[in-house]
Amino acid sequence: MIAAVLAAVALTMPSREALIERWLHANRAHAVAQLALPAHGSVPPLDLDGLAQRELATAGRYRLMQPGVPPAESEPWWLRALEWIGAGWRQLWRAFFGRVHVSPQAASGIGEALLALVALTFVFIVWRILRNVQLSRSAARSTAEPLEALADPRSLYQSACEAADRGEYGNAALLLFAATVALLDRRGAVTVNRSATVGELRRKLRAANADLVAPFDAVAAPFIQKAYAERPIDAAQWRHARSSFDRAMLSLSKHD
User: What's the CA gap between 230 and 249, in Å, rounded?
Assistant: 25
Q: What is the mean pLDDT of residues 168-194?
A: 83
The larger pLDDT score, comparing residue 248 to residue 242, is at: 242
The larger pLDDT score, comparing residue 11 to residue 22, is at: 22
Is the pLDDT at 143 greater than 50? The verdict is no
The larger pLDDT score, comparing residue 233 to residue 56, is at: 233
Closest C-alpha among 187, 192, 233, 226 to residue 209: 187
Return the sign of the alpha-carbon dihedral for residues 105, 109, 110, 112. Answer: positive
Please state, rounded to an integer, the average pLDDT across all residues of the chain: 73
pLDDT in tens, 77-116: 878 877 888 787 778 777 766 666 656 666 666 667 777 7
Is the pLDDT at 218 greater than 60? The verdict is yes
The larger pLDDT score, comparing residue 117 to residue 135, is at: 117
Q: Give the per-residue pLDDT at 144.
A: 42
Is the pLDDT at 196 greater than 70? The verdict is yes
Kindly report the number of other CB atoms within 10 A of residue 135's CB atom: 14
Q: Three-class SS string for the chain?
A: CHHHHHHHHHHHCCCHHHHHHHHHHHCCCCCHHHHHCCCCCCCCCCCHHHHHHHHHCCCCCCCCCCCCCCCCCCCCHHHHHHHHHHHHHHHHHHHHHHHCCCCHHHHHHHHHHHHHHHHHHHHHHHHHHHHHHHHHHHHHHHHHCCHHHHCCHHHHHHHHHHHHHCCCHHHHHHHHHHHHHHHHHHHCCCCCCCCCCHHHHHHHHHHHCHHHHHHHHHHHHHHHHHHCCCCCCCHHHHHHHHHHHHHHHHHHHCCC
Q: What are phi and psi of 43, to 5 degrees?
A: -80, 135
Q: Do the Cβ atoms of 227 and 171 come closer than 8 Å?
A: no
